[in-house]
Amino acid sequence: MSIDITVTVGGAAGQGLQTVGDLLARVCHRAGLYLMAINDFESRIRGGNNFFQIRISDAPVNAPRQPVDLLVALDRRSIREHRPRLSDRGLIMADAGSSNKGEKGEMEGVFTLPIRDLAKEAGGAITANTVAAGACLAILGAPWDLVRETVEDFFSGKSRKVIDQNIAAAEKGHEAGRSVKFQGAFQWPDGRERKGRLLTGADAAALGALAADCRIAAFYPMSPATPILVSLASHIDRFPLVLEQAEDEIAAVNMTMGAAFAGVRAFTATSGGGFALMTEGLGLAGITETPIVIVNAQRPGPATGLPTRTGQADLPFCIHSPQDDSPRFILAPGTVEDVFNTMVRAFDLAWKYQAPAIVLVDQYLCDSMFIALGEMTVPESIPIYTITDADMPDPSAYQRYAFTESGISPMALPCAGQALVKVCGNEHRVDGHITEDATLRRRMVEKRQSKIPAMRGEMRPPSAHHPDAETLLVGWGSTIGPLREAVDMLRSDGMDAGCAHFTDLWPFPAEAAERVLKKAGRRIMVEGNATAQLGALIREQTGIVADGTVLKYDGRPFFPREIADAVLEQTR
């Protein structure tokens, strides 16, 4: 890797950071570079300090870096916040007209450009973020025609006037930026060969739902799940799809269930607090054996916690809620490709086993942009797991909860034929009517539980990077990028390190886990929670006790260097 640059664009909420960030990412993508970008923002609409941080490289990158090479400060506060992270070759660029009063010496070494003035010249203060993007790209050495093409493309949905204003703004920024000397500037590729797809985890979840033939999404807005629905909403006109903002999460999960019961693939997406409200519904899906998919985009809790930040602390909650036992799947994809493919799989598994499937993602994965290089497979057809009158010897004798060897009863749809479909959240007989009979109750519990071995058989083993290493870092979900890079760092530091990464968490693939984990001399749990939740699960399911932990619960994503340093510290 000869290029590895981190650019941070900082400013207040409401300053249009997202536009700057999107433009930077698209220009890099168009040029055939690799990138990954995180969005770090506060739970407010105006003010505060937010930043967008993009890592640009000529080799695949899947984790953020901490040191900042180029800081584009749209306000003074960003200078204060991010200067301490500046790398040796670091440069700060700020708006000359930055009006808020700074401390003495604050502007030292800061390169200023008249961003706001240039924006006004280009057609309005509103284009300031495009000026900033143009300047930033020029500082990095990006050629003007590449920037122009991207701006044109980016604003293509808007009026000609808006497009032209933004091109003018980008050009003014670019001209001004060219005069800035930056050690990190690099030679941009000549071609326009895009590497992979540029998307966020939220985009991937929405696309995955569509690829799974999902036709109904019911939801109640909650960060960081909302971007999934916003992304889905942008595709609404192309598909037979209904998106309904429910009155609350309880309604959302119950609507999802009603839709699935009537034969349409449906899902809901929320975060921990909303998931808490959905748990009774999760139980209803369990006892009624209704195939629903719930995406839980985790954020730190409990209660409101840190609304716009990231964490991985809902694993036991998803495994154990609500009351009593009922089978479910829990899948925690690590990459954007994986989010897409996992959505397809979650729907398939839910319908195949008539059980709820929970997809665990988090703010880091939902809001960050990645280049997806791996396969994202749209199935050619969707298997039909339901039956009709034609499949029954006598439709009038249909029983929704008939006992079978697999525990899975043939599922018919209401009002689709003569067969009456009777579904009940009370304990029920095979025909769906309420029962309190002790023997039947026992048999129904056993019927539902009997699906679990086959469900477990569907679970994939943890993936491993240097599986035979002496020291194995162990993680799950969105941390796969930082984990693998940390392993590479440790190995170049001379340590025999590897990692095992879990995506399929429930029913827990205990045997596979044991096989991978027991070989290592030392196992260190790396998790985004305070108690090593996966570590506890592994211990419960395999008896293997981890030898150390690297835990982060400050709401920020993992950086590979910090994982590597923490591991070195523990193993010294």
Partner 1 sequence: MTDVELYHNDYENKWCPGCGNFGILEAMKDALAGLDIPPSKALIVSGIGQAGKTPHFLKCNFFHGLHGRALPVATGAKMANNDMTVLVNTGDGDCYGEGGNHFLAAVRRNVDITALVHNNKVYGLTKGQASPTSDMGMTTKVQGKGVILSPFDGPSVALSLGAGFVARGFAGRMDHLSGLIQAAIRYSGFALIDIFQPCVSFNRRNTWQSYNESVYELTEENHDPADLDAAFKLCRQGDEKIPIGIFYQKETVSFSDRIEVLREGPLVSRTFAPARVQNLLNTY
Interacting residue ranges for partner 1, rule: CB under 8 A: 197-199, 203, 207, 210-211, 213, 215-216, 218, 235-236, 238-242, 244, 246-248, 250-252, 254-264, 266, 280-281, 284, 288, 372, 376, 378-382, 413-415, 417-426, 432-434
- Tell which residue, 184, 356, 336, 181, has the closest CA to residue 253: 356
**Contact indicator for 484, 62 with CB cutoff of 8 Å:** yes
**Contact indicator for 491, 497 with CB cutoff of 8 Å:** yes
Closest to partner 1 by CB, 407 vs 432, is 432
Tokens of 269: 């997406």
Position of tokens 């083993």? 461
Q: Rounded to an integer, what distance in angstroms lies between the CA atom of residue 258 and that of residue 261?
A: 5
Tokens of 293: 């998919």
Rounded to a whole number of angstroms, the minimum distance from the CB of residue 363 to partner 1 is 21
Closest to partner 1 by CB, 162 vs 382, is 382
Closest to partner 1 by CB, 256 vs 549, is 256
Helices 17-31, 128-140: inter-axial angle, 10-degree rounding: 40
Phi, psi (degrees; rounded to nearest 5) at 474? -125, 125
Tokens of 309: 């930040």
Closest to partner 1 by CB, 34 vs 182, is 34
Exposed/middle/buried for 81, CB within 10 Å: 0-12, 13-18, 19+? middle
Closest to partner 1 by CB, 214 vs 225, is 214
Rounded to a whole number of angstroms, the minimum distance from the CB of residue 322 to partner 1 is 11
Closest to partner 1 by CB, 388 vs 463, is 388
Rounded to a whole number of angstroms, the minimum distance from the CB of residue 358 to partner 1 is 18
Closest to partner 1 by CB, 261 vs 502, is 261
Closest to partner 1 by CB, 378 vs 530, is 378
Half-sphere exposure of 341 (CA within 13 A, CB side): 14
Half-sphere exposure of 187 (CA within 13 A, CB side): 4
Closest to partner 1 by CB, 153 vs 511, is 153
H or E, element range at 54 = strand 47-57
Rounded to a whole number of angstroms, the minimum distance from the CB of residue 368 to partner 1 is 15
How far CA 53 is from CA of 25, 309, 561, in Å, comes to 10, 15, 16
Q: Residue 48: CB partners within 8 Å, gap ≥ 6?
A: 12, 13, 41, 42
How far CA 454 is from CA of 57, 445, 457, 540, in Å, comes to 43, 16, 5, 20
Rounded to a whole number of angstroms, the minimum distance from the CB of residue 393 to partner 1 is 17
Rounded to a whole number of angstroms, the minimum distance from the CB of residue 257 to partner 1 is 6
